[in-house]
Amino acid sequence: MENKRSVAKPDGKLAVLIPGLGAVSTTLMAGVELARKGKGHPIGSLTQMGTARLGKRTDGRTVKLNELVPLAELKDVAFGAWDIIREDAYEVAVRSGVLSDKHLEEVKPFLQSIKPKQGVHDPEFVRRIEANHIKATKTHRESIEALRQDIRDFKKELNATRAVMVVCSSVETFRPLPESFKTLAAFEKALDENSPDINPTALYTYAAIKEGVPFANATPNASVDTPALQELAKQESVAVAGRDLKSGQTMMKTVIAPALKARMLGLDGWFSTNILGNRDGEVLDDPAAFKAKEVTKSSVLDTILQPELYPELYKKYAHKVSIHYYPPRGDAKEGWDNIDITGWLGYPMQIKVNFLCRDSILAAPLVLDIALFLDLAKRLEWRGIQEWMSFYFKTPMAQPGLPVEHDLFIQLTKLKNTLRVVAGEDPITHLGLDYYGDDLPLSK
């Protein structure tokens, strides 16, 4: 396939701008700096360690993804952040307790140099944090203008030629989608009226898109998954992706559920519970914030299992998700899953999973990949929903009318095939019939 897409080179520095200077973002920042210093490996990052096969299996061609397409290099990545707490990245990293003292000492001056700009805050959306570093703006329009100026200032301060934004802020309280998010005209009117329906994350989203900055939402908060802001992204020719990182327990669901459907095994029930003790856990201790997380964590099974196609297997399963704030665990989250399944003749069986994971360690490489792929999309002059990045999200977006794909392996195939096509290579279908000649004739 000789049809390589024209893509601008990633010349100069890339500013990765992050609303929310917390455990995930500081773990990312420290990890990138450690990798640059040769003190750590970027494990978990497709852009740094992933490969793609090219051509037939017999060709023996496999390349790293960052060789297949022109991605920004780690040496050219710079970070900026906003937060509602007045702490630099080193103070946050120490408080979060994710990384060892040895690792933190290696990057202490670097982290200390990352000081957040004042964040946009609405206590009705984030109730469990005592904010002490917030903008003095009085209206939504003032907040947006302040954020847009921050983006321009970040690019100057970081000597960056390009920027992307990935939201990693605290989970906001859940609210059903207001009418004001259903069209861009209604959203603009709500901004003018300073509507209480508009959440802080949506203001960051609007500011980024208006500045032409590709945007991704790594949280469950209302953002580019809404019709209004998707309309704005297409209007402004900005690439967007989201929502909510698929890092731990939900990743396991998108691995196990496809296996059940592939083998046509039935599902009676799936009980999931989590205990965690970091700031994310503290915020999620608010039932209204937990509801937002529950929505994204619960959405994957129906899409994968397709109960409308397989009612005998999946029409009536029970699905329960719970999250509990347990301070002793810190960032070492534990997820328990009890899965009640049925096999031949309806006989019951069970799968039990006890996933002792590190929340920010799993999430940090995803944020890096998202940032680098968004920058690639920008240089390709792509706009709107980047469905090929669904691999990274609990609740990925698709064009209206298209069913969303949640199967992790289908998502990975889609991502790699997209990169193959960008590079002028054939997508891989894994059909393989041409290896067997007359043994498997397709026509006579």
Residue-level pLDDT at 53: 97
Please identify, among 338, 356, 374, the residue that sits at the C-terminal boundary of a domain. Answer: 356
Q: State the pLDDT confidence band at 326, using cuts at 50, 70 and 90.
A: confident
Is 45 in the same domain as 190?
A: yes
Is 351 in the same domain as 396?
A: no
What's the chain's average pLDDT? 93
Q: State the pLDDT confidence band at 1, using cuts at 50, 70 and 90.
A: low
Is 352 in the same domain as 365?
A: no
Q: State the pLDDT confidence band at 292, using cuts at 50, 70 and 90.
A: low
Distance CA 180, CA 197 (A): 8
Could you tell me which of 4, 77, 21 has the C-alpha nearest to residue 47?
77
Is 307 in the same domain as 376?
A: no
- Distance from the first to the final alpha carbon of the chain: 27
Quick check: 296 pLDDT over 70? no
Tokens found for residue 350: 């069970």
Which of 213-222, 279-288, 370-379 has the least mean pLDDT? 279-288
Helix (H) or strand (E) holding 328: none
Mean pLDDT of 379-383: 97
Residue-level pLDDT at 217: 97
Query: Residue 297 belongs to what domain range?
Result: 249-356
Is 230 in the same domain as 254?
A: no
Is 193 in the same domain as 254?
A: no
Whether the model pTM is above 0.85: yes
- The helix/strand/coil state of 110 is helix
Domains contained in the chain, number? 2
For residue 413, tell me if it sits in a domain: yes
Residue-level pLDDT at 239: 98
Mean pLDDT of 206-223: 97
Which of 53-62, 246-255, 380-389 has the least mean pLDDT? 246-255
68-113: pLDDT as tens digits: 999 999 999 999 999 999 999 999 999 999 999 999 999 999 999 9
Residue-level pLDDT at 283: 67
Is 74 in the same domain as 188?
A: yes
Q: Which segments within 235-304 are labelled E, that is strand?
A: 239-242, 266-276
For residue 444, tell me if it sits in a domain: no
Tokens found for residue 328: 């002793």
- The helix/strand/coil state of 191 is helix
For residue 441, tell me if it sits in a domain: no
For residue 439, tell me if it sits in a domain: no
Residue-level pLDDT at 329: 82
Mean pLDDT of 2-20: 91
Residue-level pLDDT at 358: 92
Distance CA 79, CA 212 (A): 18
Asked whether the beta carbons of 395 and 243 are under 8 A apart, the reply is yes
Is 352 in the same domain as 419?
A: no
Residue-level pLDDT at 299: 72
Is 131 in the same domain as 232?
A: yes
Is 40 in the same domain as 117?
A: yes
Is 50 in the same domain as 175?
A: yes
401-432: pLDDT as tens digits: 999 999 999 999 999 999 999 999 999 998 88
Is 144 in the same domain as 43?
A: yes
For residue 240, tell me if it sits in a domain: yes
